[in-house]
A and B are shown apart, each in its own frame.
Chain A
């Protein structure tokens, strides 16, 4: 049991906030750019051969003498793709990331019955992680963003994307001092440094710059960016941070 009943009820009141119109395959509650048969009028356009006669606005024809058809928006289900980073570097925050992914999957489940909760639960640390080129819907990436190659993958995603940058307390404030041999969890690369106050300050500065660079990059590429700590309460992250950052509403 990942969540308690109270939290589950709170999740029921949440939904993903989408800035762009969606192109879903199934009808749902989301208005899409695809014209459909919903009751919500969107615009007029000139009649073209093949248009449905029932959509011709005859009143407007009576006043203007030209054929225009009325367009209505179509309500589609939001396709949500949840991508939780499973690389080795996620070890200290993988549990948090998986629970966050599960919470988002439950939110998505309220909009479509095909939410990927089972996929989230089946994730195992150390499995290969990649961002597929999703073309529609919403993509939520939960990662520590230590992989620079991730930028290229995200550029291939045409769907609306939210990037949740998760950092563990150890990454924010490294608990090392003195002469240390730092081993990269993913590549095994070693880096020998003497860690003193100066080095810790420099690290904090570089980390801030690293996060800022990701935030800027996401902004430039129209991605939603959110940074959160893995020791933060999940309820706060879901109900406060994600809502404030516009991922949920």
Chain B
């Protein structure tokens, strides 16, 4: 017999204390006799010291000592090792990212998990965690029903949920877990090429893609409504762009398709649809800034006017913005710009900029004029305000010098895209639907899924699968297509590595323990009861 907490056995010292205490108080034993007539005539005297030293064993004292000993033993967690192994709690996290479809790796992963469960984890409590699209816990019997989602899965969230539930976590993916742990990695095929960004305006189309293979000639099918064109271009390794001019004033749909012979077709196509008119007008007043115009114009559905007239967004570059703008943005050129890291506050206008504080300050910033410092801080640098938002107004104090200042930084177009999104209500103009990214729809819109299922009226559309949907609202019904467009998912080449843990190894299995704490506790109660009954009987 072993003990889980052997240190608790020190509690047996209390048995010795019990005996010492019992000897110390040593109450008179009760004895029934026919008559005390003679005993009353014998004078009472104190017992000699030697009698105190001599323990008088009583049955009730023995039961009390046994009760204490049994209770202490129960607290120490006694157990008997068994020849059978203790069931382990094992969680298997299955990466169902879109790229796992390349090379049929998801099916291989499911086979591996099945083999693992049947061969090396029999008798264990196995849970499977997967995303479809939200993280969820599944049973082993659900493995055949697991499918890939057409977006990137955050396996860290799944791993965190799995670690909360199980002692052993196995990740089945093609990327090693960031936090370490057991992993079975199934590397994908290399050399994938795909489209990761599509921007459309009435005048041009901008396509950005990646090529993880060597330079090669790739065909491109470009389609504007029913007008199709196909060409071949030399696709370099790494990031490539494919800008095209087009006459899209009356067009409603644009699609670009790569004719690339690779195992991952989900990222080979990109689509854009026009949702109603381009309703957002950005009006720029004051000093001219081609970079500002380009950044705003790059946001789909935006019309930029540089005459300072009426607009949904009114921008004033060292000038007063048009007062009719729903959102008025003052850009104040700092007198003495300084290069300091910028603290970025959480705000819809700063979405995507929280990690870019250093870059924001590299272009030079300055303190806002005293009259414009009130409101909610957006940016701070060196303890002073360089950007605030109050009501319909935004005030910025950034260096707008085109080559060295803020316009030369990547954070610049991000911020102006945020400004447009913040100012307008609902999507309009050319929209690209991407899996896993919500799109704000015009009012009273309904979406019909690929299988014909219809959602209720909603302002938000969030598609998780690449495919054709139909959008129905007051403007009529039109087809929309969701695309993958994800840099990370287009890189399907992952690592391959066998599982770095052999769950079938007997050394990995803890023998099953037959706990004896219950019987010991029951024994303690029994001895207490017996001691109590014995004392009652004597009384």
A residues near B (Cβ < 8 Å) are: 88-92, 144, 146, 148, 168, 170-171, 174, 176, 178-187, 189-194, 196, 199, 202-203, 206-207, 210
- Complex Cα gap A202–B42 (Å): 7
* Extra contacts besides A185-B34, A206-B42, A207-B38 (8): CB < 8 Å: A89-B35, A170-B33, A180-B31, A183-B30, A183-B36, A184-B33, A190-B36, A199-B42
In the assembled complex, B26 has its CB within 8 A of some CB on chain A: yes
Known: A193-B42, A203-B38, A210-B38. A178 touches B33 (CB 8 A): no
Q: Please indicate the chain A residues that have their CB under 8 angstroms from the CB of B41 in the complex.
A: 206
In the assembled complex, B51 has its CB within 8 A of some CB on chain A: yes
Question: 17 A-B contacts, Cβ less than 8 Å apart?
Answer: A89-B35, A92-B34, A176-B31, A179-B29, A179-B47, A180-B29, A180-B31, A183-B33, A184-B34, A184-B35, A184-B36, A192-B44, A194-B44, A196-B47, A196-B48, A199-B42, A202-B42
In the assembled complex, B32 has its CB within 8 A of some CB on chain A: yes
In the assembled complex, B145 has its CB within 8 A of some CB on chain A: no
Q: Please indicate the chain B residues that have their CB under 8 angstroms from the CB of A90 in the complex.
A: 34
In the assembled complex, B136 has its CB within 8 A of some CB on chain A: no
Known: A179-B26, A182-B39, A192-B44. A171 touches B32 (CB 8 A): no
Minimal beta-carbon separation of A99 from chain B (angstroms): 18
Q: Contact size class for B?
A: 20 to 34
Q: Please indicate the chain B residues that have their CB under 8 angstroms from the CB of A148 in the complex.
A: 37
- Contact assessment for A146 and B37 in the assembled complex, using a CB-CB cutoff below 8 Å: yes
- Complex Cα gap A187–B40 (Å): 13
- Complex Cα gap A193–B31 (Å): 11
- Complex Cα gap A102–B446 (Å): 113
Q: Please indicate the chain B residues that have their CB under 8 angstroms from the CB of A187 in the complex.
A: 36
- Contact assessment for B51 and A178 in the assembled complex, using a CB-CB cutoff below 8 Å: yes
Minimal beta-carbon separation of B35 from chain A (angstroms): 4
Minimal beta-carbon separation of B47 from chain A (angstroms): 4
Q: Please indicate the chain A residues that have their CB under 8 angstroms from the CB of B56 in the complex.
A: 178
- Complex Cα gap A186–B33 (Å): 9
In the assembled complex, B46 has its CB within 8 A of some CB on chain A: yes
Q: Please indicate the chain B residues that have their CB under 8 angstroms from the CB of A170 in the complex.
A: 33
Q: Please indicate the chain A residues that have their CB under 8 angstroms from the CB of B371 in the complex.
A: none
Q: Please indicate the chain B residues that have their CB under 8 angstroms from the CB of A181 in the complex.
A: 28-31
Chain A residue with minimal CB distance to B46?
A194
Q: Please indicate the chain A residues that have their CB under 8 angstroms from the CB of B27 in the complex.
A: 179
The 7 closest A-B pairs by CB, nearest first: A89-B34, A146-B35, A181-B28, A191-B36, A194-B47, A206-B38, A179-B28
Known: A182-B39, A193-B39, A203-B39. A168 touches B34 (CB 8 A): yes
- Complex Cα gap A88–B36 (Å): 13
- Contact assessment for A178 and B47 in the assembled complex, using a CB-CB cutoff below 8 Å: yes
- Contact assessment for A183 and B39 in the assembled complex, using a CB-CB cutoff below 8 Å: no
In the assembled complex, B164 has its CB within 8 A of some CB on chain A: no
Q: Please indicate the chain B residues that have their CB under 8 angstroms from the CB of A193 in the complex.
A: 39, 42, 44
Minimal beta-carbon separation of B128 from chain A (angstroms): 72
- Complex Cα gap A218–B373 (Å): 127
Other-chain residue from B29, B30, B32, B38 in contact with A185 (beta carbon distance below 8 A): B32
In the assembled complex, B45 has its CB within 8 A of some CB on chain A: yes
Q: Please indicate the chain A residues that have their CB under 8 angstroms from the CB of B30 in the complex.
A: 180-181, 183
- Contact assessment for A178 and B29 in the assembled complex, using a CB-CB cutoff below 8 Å: yes
Minimal beta-carbon separation of B55 from chain A (angstroms): 10
Known: A178-B51, A196-B48, A203-B39. A171 touches B34 (CB 8 A): yes
Chain B residue with minimal CB distance to A167?
B34
- Contact assessment for A192 and B34 in the assembled complex, using a CB-CB cutoff below 8 Å: no
